[in-house]
Amino acid sequence: MDFDLSEDQRALQDEARRFLDEQCPTARVRAAMAADEGYDRDLWMAMVDQGWPATAVPEGLGGLGLGTVELAVLLEQTGAHVAPTPFLQEALALDALSRAAAAGAAEAGWLDPVLQGDSVAAIAWQPVRAERDGARWLLSGRSGPALYAPEADVVVVPGVDPDGGEHLFVVNARARHVTAEPAMDQTRSLGWVELEGTPSLHLGDAEAATAFADLGAVAHAAELLGAADRVLGMTVDYAKERVQFGRPIGSFQAVKHRCADMLVDVEGMRSVVYYAAWCLSADDPDRSDRRRRDGQDHAVLRRRSSGHGLGPPGARRHRVHLGARPAPVLEAGPARRGQLRRRHAPPDPPGRPCCGGSSAGTASFERRVTSR
């Protein structure tokens, strides 16, 4: 069996890398960080013109009809280039909206505007309270940290009904109160969505919520993989250039071993990410288990992508710094290990809480994501 990318997928990878090499240099990323808009709209519209948001949308709904593997290929490149665009969030929102449209559920006409780049979508991963009011669903609660929430026109959010049932909803973000929050990763904006008896559109039940979380975990992992691979390359290059005691530091055994450890971890993550993407495309029964393993790899991504302290003095100004900073913010997504374990792992013994399950742990996590 051939586990490598196909010829078409490699061509897509090469073209995406070439496009972002030209359109998303470090200077442009830093300019987006200093701007007020929260993302680079010109770069995003160039990606829309290339058809990036339509990658995994069915052809019958105006998309390209490709699969999750192709989407992961593009996300790896946006992660490697730290592209300041809402591509990940748009791809996930489009998947949820297109699934709802294919199932005959109302999607309030959001599919085409998001697909064409006229509307920005955000994803709020923390479930809110959902209650039925006749034919309507009303949502209440505060979302977790949501990327691009301050700029969003529409927000896709999971909800839990009074009986514990899981659902997936979409709300009009422009009619809601959104609080912007300074984030560690300044290449993308972060915010909180306040919901209080907010009318919403019902996109699906537990099956839709699970499919949404599965794709979300793979997408976040793919973008982090790209960031880790780019940081690994920069770290190795720096180890070849930096001279200490008359020799490049890469010639020292301790440094070589650390770089080798990073390579093993990154290649291992690459295998897991693309196998998980294939599982989703093929509707494999192991897809949720692969999503859980993706979440477990996030901790490795954060530890290894830092280069074990090999970065140059003043690393905040170095390109490697841009590659490492998105990791804590992307961990706010569906691949957070505590959330995955609660969904997929056996229950904990009495008196022993699941990891990340306490309110104190959640507060600590949110402080880490939003602190500079």
Instruction: Please indicate, yes or no, whether residues 239 and 363 belong to a single structural domain of this protein.
Output: yes
CA distances from 31 to 36, 65, 148 (A): 10, 34, 17
Question: What is d(CA 356, CA 362) in angstroms, rounded to the nearest whole number?
Answer: 6
Would residue 56 count as lying in a domain? Answer: yes
- H or E stretch at 275: helix 253-281
Query: Does residue 219 share a domain with residue 198?
Result: no
Name which residue leads in pLDDT, 309 or 166: 166
pLDDT for 13-25, tens place per residue? 999 999 999 999 9
Between CA 153 and CA 187 the distance in angstroms is: 19
- Could you tell me the pLDDT band of residue 231, with boundaries at 50, 70 and 90? confident
Q: 108 pLDDT band (50/70/90 cuts)?
A: low
In the chain, the N- to C-terminal Cα span, in Å, equals 46
State residue 208's pLDDT score.
Answer: 93
Decide if 2 is inside a domain. no
Question: Does 28 score more than 90 pLDDT?
Answer: yes
Residue 299 and residue 346 share a domain:
yes
Q: Note the pLDDT of residue 177.
A: 78
Give CA separation, 296 vs 73, 242, 272, in Å. Answer: 21, 33, 11
Structural domain of 193: 121-208
Structure tokens at 129: 């309270």
Last residue of a domain, one of 88, 115, 142: 115
Contact 355, 367 (CB under 8 A): no
pLDDT tens for each residue of 239-259: 898 888 999 988 898 898 988
Q: What is the mean pLDDT of residues 270-285?
A: 88
Interval 44-76: pLDDT, tens: 999 999 999 999 999 999 999 999 999 999 999
Do 309 and 357 fall within a single domain? yes
Q: CATH number of the domain that 203 lies in?
A: 2.40.110.10
Which residues fall within 8 angstroms of residue 48, CB to CB, at 6 or more apart? Answer: 116, 117
Confidence at 331, pLDDT banded by 50, 70, 90: low
The residue written with tokens 């309110």 in the block is 359
DSSP string, 330-349: HTTSTT-HHHHHHHHSPPPP
Its sign, for the CA torsion 90, 20, 328, 259, is positive
Burial class (CB in 10 A: 0-12, 13-18, 19+), 355: middle
In this prediction, residues 129-157 reach a mean pLDDT of 91
Does one domain contain both 358 and 233?
A: yes
> Left if phi > 0, otherwise alpha if psi is -120 to 50, otherwise beta: which for 134?
left
Same domain? 236 vs 196: no
* 340 assigned to some structural domain: yes
Q: Rounded to the nearest 5 degrees, what angle is found at the Cα of 173, between the Cα atoms of 149 and 357?
A: 55
**Span 350-370, average pLDDT:** 44
pLDDT of residue 368: 45
Tokens 């300019």 correspond to 31
The predicted pLDDT at position 69 comes to 96
Residue 1 domain-assigned (yes or no): no
* Residue the block writes with tokens 């309270």: 129
Determine the Cα–Cα distance for residues 102 and 209; give it in Å rounded to an integer. Answer: 15
Q: Which of 37, 260, 168, 289 is nearest to 252 (CA)?
A: 260
| Position 372 pLDDT exceeds 50 | no
CA 18 to chain centre: 22
Does a structural domain hold residue 259?
yes
Residue 247 pLDDT: 92
Where residue 325 falls among pLDDT bands split at 50, 70, 90?
low
Query: What is the secondary structure of 181-194 as a DSSP string?
Result: ---S-TTS-EEEEE
**Is the residue at 359 inside a domain?**
yes
Which range is least confidently modeled, 74-88, 173-187, 204-218, 293-307?
A: 293-307
Say yes or no to pLDDT of 359 above 80. Answer: no
Q: Average of pLDDT values for 28-35?
A: 88
User: Which percentage of the chain shows pLDDT scores above 90?
Assistant: 47
Question: Would you report the helix, strand and coil content of the chain in percent, each value rounded to 5?
Answer: 55, 15, 30
Distance CA 97, CA 106 (A): 9
133 lies in the same domain as 193: yes
The total of structural domains in the chain comes to 3
Supply the mean pLDDT for the chain.
81
For 132, phi then psi, to 5°, come to: -80, 140
Cα(116)–Cα(219) distance, integer angstroms: 20
Structure-token match 């020799």, residue found: 247
Digit-coded pLDDT (tens) for 163-178? 999 999 999 888 677 8
User: What CATH number did the domain enclosing 21 receive?
Assistant: 1.10.540.10
Give yes or no for residue 345 having a pLDDT over 80: no
Q: Is the pLDDT of residue 35 over 90?
A: no
Per-residue pLDDT, averaged over 90-97, amounts to: 95
More confident residue, 39 or 370: 39
Please compute the mean of the pLDDT values over residues 287-296 and round it to a whole number: 52
- Domain co-membership, 215 together with 351: yes
User: Is position 254 within any domain?
Assistant: yes
Are 140 and 198 a contacting pair, CB within 8 Å?
yes
pLDDT at 349 over 50: no
Which of residues 208, 242, 270 is at a domain's end?
Answer: 208
CA atoms of 322 and 130, how far apart (whole Å): 38
The predicted pLDDT at position 313 comes to 46
